[in-house]
Structure 1
């Protein structure tokens, strides 16, 4: 997680042609991520997937990321070539860390799951996830497969801040963690308690801060990859065991980004392919979109230190594929919510009230909260924005909304805006609202927003659309539009300027919501969500 206490540092209106929209399961990832190309382009996936932990089990690569207050927690992706990725699950089924995670008596914005570890233990064929929650305790979850079922395994009274898990050759589990003062802890054989912990390295004053640990054993040496937020990566090496002593060498500092306007690739992990080649996956601060992954090969010198294969001191925009390309289902397409469960790419804003939503030939969202504040409304369902430009469209039946209900599609971050439907008495209208804000140390609501445009809605079936540009930099825009036939869209309101600040950490998201301002009991049916990109 980029240092909380010390750190720092035109929207496209896309037309949906019916013949170009396919079910997600029938597509493969587009552009540079197809089987016909011999090289890949960075970023490998333009989505907000920070605090990378990456490893391989057999022929399969797994990627764990942060998602903080979104539920379920700690998303997991899978790949067979390190370039094409698909969402497969979450390590934390429910953020059961206290009432604020249910938006009860407060909120958990910027809390929850961040900079955690994920690894696989061959001896018992079990996946282990662990993370420190709110700087207090470390929670460990386990599962027989990444798809689950995931269960809470242990709660340790120690905070393993920005932790990395190593399972040594003798099956002992070690955790590297810390900020500036770096530690290694040994866990009990069953992984339920700490056997011992000690300081193994003190960051030199000229480096200032190190965190974001990832722990490895390569050719008999122990390595801890650490981040100097948010512009550097340093490696600690021990030739005498997991508790050191460790020496330090710089891996990168102020390296030019492969994304114009983006930050320095940092805080990632390394993985070895079946062929014996090594790669480093890091993330790039690329707001307003978030922190997105980039991949580069690494080599080891004669002294056992890793070096990234740069191109003129630049993280390469393109490299040869690590392995034969293995395309997976696209991140674009149409979700008709036809299954028994939401796809693993979906996450709720805080824990949902599961009694107030269902999948019934579409997504049925009952109003779960009586409020006039979107930030405190439960059952807001979010989806990462696909960069650098994309468009999301939902089809929604609003006939069962009650007086005072609000339902629609938002661009969601600490600054938010939305297009949606308001019912007032016996009338319905489509509206755009802007100016929603949360701020301050506890991210409480600073502004509930204001209506900037509205028009009468005569029918009860509507398509709502948001088109977004998340190229790194200030002044990026989102535009909203609506339709009553799914073909002819009409703009509404004004372009919304996306928030470009890093302090919220998470990038902007698409969000589907329904809440009540007067009485509970209303509902909407979302028939589909379609994501397109140029």
Structure 2
């Protein structure tokens, strides 16, 4: 979803003349109790996973999300119950969209890159397809083949994801906010691939037999005058074709037809339904998915929960005799339920590497929770191996953190959590700057600077990107200075901590705060500087992240070792 259309519609809500809102009906208490004796609580995942696309293969639910300029891109999560999610892979291993995504040109790619994209599994050739339009220009395709998901009830081995960029190259058309449909025939002999896309005017493209090229594209629907729709998802249910679209940023509509190319009839599905969190906007822009055996259907959407980003919520839906869906709301308030009966009762569990706890960077690869600020310079970082630790060598000479390569980030767990990095900074050289950053377009960090006097601890604010152009407008100012690390022992272990409150404050003047501190023994932490005010703006789209960085201002050659990262809930 592009911010121009978001801004236009968020402040001016256009009525849809002639359409009657669907009337949600709560699940009968007896049926709910029989189907699921326990409940789940919204949000199901308090982390920034926006523009979601959700589907099921066998017993496994899959979830794909936007990542903009972060790399690797388009994370994929799995679940057995729509509630507990495990990050398992990224569809786009490298942002192969141009030089700016490598941060080695005069311009960066912040707020560009992977927006609302789509992911599906095609059983006939055992292949996952990721498709997304980049910079309103070309549409890129990545595939993972040989996963054996169809043979293994949806399961893919941890080392079974072998993503590759399309051998045919990008499609020279923009499939804006797209949704994939694998149109499987009843006899299984045909599974033509379609992609629905567009803003206000929706088109459906038919792809070639291998799913890598466009055969034709047809406009299938135009929204009423003054109404914006986007974020399209396409489904075939019992022989009927559906397209779900969002009216940013407060509603979801559904289109229905007997043919993938229409004609389509549109009705409202979710319109300004409040909840389940305060100051988090209206839940919208998602997808629908059925439980195994199509026993029940669920709508998964996101809330604009800034400063933390956009976080997913789940609610059941029901179908009318005419084939129109309705959301199941809270029977008392008619709002999105804070809790519902759990989607699937199963003894299967995902091996969720909890966001909470310690990551000591052991093993041969980074965990799926980590993403770089752009494509990294892979020659400038290294995992130590069995003993643990991540070596970050300086990759950029710059005074601008936003221009520095190899800043490693991960999502903040809401509503309040701390991120603590343990660093060995003994390998820094004069002019180097390293530390723990609260990363976004308005950023701050606690770090260590190496200069002629030694290695000193600093808290820096005023790191800013200019809204709209997303070029650097502020490289930061030292707001507070801590001790100078005079002895080698002190430089071998320093703990840098950020405590961040990302409780939703979207649309309000409330400013959530972050506190920065350091420790030389890992036990006693000293606060440095004043609390930092987080931005509630949606225009950068991505929420705040914890990050760790190391860059040079004089010459390359220095390094730091990130010994561990620990995330803990606060309060």
Q: TM-score, normalised by structure 1?
A: 0.93
What stretches of structure 1 of length at least 5 have no aligned partner?
10-35
CA distance in 2, matches of 1:327, 1:382: 23
Deviating more after overlay: 299-308 vs 36-45? 36-45
The CA deviation string for residues 246-298 of structure 1, in whole angstroms up to 9 with x for no partner, is: 00010011110201111111110111111421011001000000000000001
Change (3 A) 1:464 1:6: closer
How far is the alpha carbon of 1:3 from its aligned partner? 4.6
2:242 counterpart of 1:226: no
CA distance in 2, matches of 1:252, 1:475: 29
Aligned residues: 506
Aligned residue among 362, 371, 396 for 2:423: 396
Aligned residue among 473, 480, 486 for 2:522: 486
Is the 1:403–1:426 contact (alpha carbons within 8 Å) kept by the matching residues of 2?
no
Is the 1:109–1:442 contact (alpha carbons within 8 Å) kept by the matching residues of 2?
no
The CA deviation string for residues 397-441 of structure 1, in whole angstroms up to 9 with x for no partner, is: 000000011100000100000001111124111110001100143
How far is the alpha carbon of 1:499 from its aligned partner? 1.0
CA distance in 2, matches of 1:251, 1:363: 47
CA distance in 2, matches of 1:216, 1:308: 17
Does the residue aligned with 1:71 lie in a helix, a strand or coil? coil
- 1:256 aligned residue: 274
- 2:175 aligned residue: 160
Is the 1:164–1:177 contact (alpha carbons within 8 Å) kept by the matching residues of 2?
yes
- 1:12 aligned residue: none
The CA deviation string for residues 64-101 of structure 1, in whole angstroms up to 9 with x for no partner, is: 00000000010110111110001111000101111110
Aligned residue among 519, 526, 539 for 1:503: 539
Is the 1:215–1:225 contact (alpha carbons within 8 Å) kept by the matching residues of 2?
yes
- 2:336 aligned residue: 315
- 1:21 aligned residue: none
How far is the alpha carbon of 1:205 from its aligned partner? 2.0
- 2:220 aligned residue: 200
- 1:126 aligned residue: 127
CA distance in 2, matches of 1:517, 1:160: 41
- 2:443 aligned residue: 416
CA distance in 2, matches of 1:395, 1:472: 29
- 2:61 aligned residue: 61
CA distance in 2, matches of 1:516, 1:37: 57
CA distance in 1, matches of 2:485, 2:322: 70
2:238 counterpart of 1:215: no
Does the residue aligned with 1:101 lie in a helix, a strand or coil? helix
- 1:50 aligned residue: 50
- 1:149 aligned residue: 162
How far is the alpha carbon of 1:102 from its aligned partner? 0.8
2:206 counterpart of 1:186: yes
Aligned residue among 477, 482, 495 for 1:450: 477
Structure that is richer in strand per residue = 1
Does the residue aligned with 1:355 lie in a helix, a strand or coil? helix
Is the 1:61–1:78 contact (alpha carbons within 8 Å) kept by the matching residues of 2?
yes
- 2:548 aligned residue: 512
Is the 1:2–1:230 contact (alpha carbons within 8 Å) kept by the matching residues of 2?
no
CA distance in 1, matches of 2:355, 2:244: 30
- 1:339 aligned residue: 363
- 1:355 aligned residue: 379
Does the residue aligned with 1:172 lie in a helix, a strand or coil? strand
Deviating more after overlay: 185-194 vs 483-492? 185-194
CA distance in 1, matches of 2:314, 2:69: 27
For the aligned residue pairs, the C-alpha RMSD in angstroms reads 1.3
Does the residue aligned with 2:101 lie in a helix, a strand or coil? helix
Deviating more after overlay: 185-194 vs 209-218? 185-194
CA distance in 2, matches of 1:365, 1:327: 31
2:504 counterpart of 1:472: yes
Is the 1:367–1:521 contact (alpha carbons within 8 Å) kept by the matching residues of 2?
yes
How far is the alpha carbon of 1:328 from its aligned partner? 3.8
TM alignment of 1:274-293, pairs within 5 A: 274-275=292-293, 276-293=295-312
Change (3 A) 1:504 1:60: same
- 2:464 aligned residue: 437
- 2:14 aligned residue: none
- 2:113 aligned residue: 112
Q: TM-score, normalised by structure 2?
A: 0.87
The CA deviation string for residues 508-534 of structure 1, in whole angstroms up to 9 with x for no partner, is: 000100000111100001110001114
CA distance in 2, matches of 1:387, 1:452: 26
